[in-house]
Amino acid sequence: MVALIIFGISFILLATYTIIRISIACVFWSFNTSTNAKYIFKRCFPYYIIVLTSICIGFIITFNNSILVIYYFSSVYFLALFLWRRKIKPSKKSFAVEPNQTHLP
């Protein structure tokens, strides 16, 4: 029984992560040209977060302020903020080594 509960919670979390990730990717895919990520962030993030806030508050009110619903939608909200931050932040996966030869003439 515990294994089924863990499997169910894992499935819900994975589905939530995937849906939020796809929704953010759709915002970036909507710009046909290779526009700067910071420009897209400044242009689209306020509208995205307003809609997400409205949806989360709407579900919390619909389910009569259930504590489980509040925890779930607050985690959805913070997960979306984390994914936006990760999408904007440049990756630092540089494996090239810069030579430090300042002592050579």
Would you say residue 94 has pLDDT above 70?
no
Residue 84 · residue 63 · CB < 8 Å: no
Whole-model pTM? 0.73
Reading the block at residue 70, the tokens are 């509040």
d(CA 78, CA 82): 6
Q: What is the DSSP string of 3-50?
A: HHHHHHHHHHHHHHHHHHHHHHHHHHHTS-S---HHHHHHHHHHHHHH
Which helix (H) or strand (E) segment is 77 a member of?
A: helix 67-88
Query: What is the model's pLDDT at position 49?
Result: 92
d(CA 90, CA 15): 26
Residue 79 · residue 17 · CB < 8 Å: yes
pLDDT tens sequence across 5-61: 898 889 999 999 999 999 998 888 888 766 788 888 888 899 999 999 999 999 999
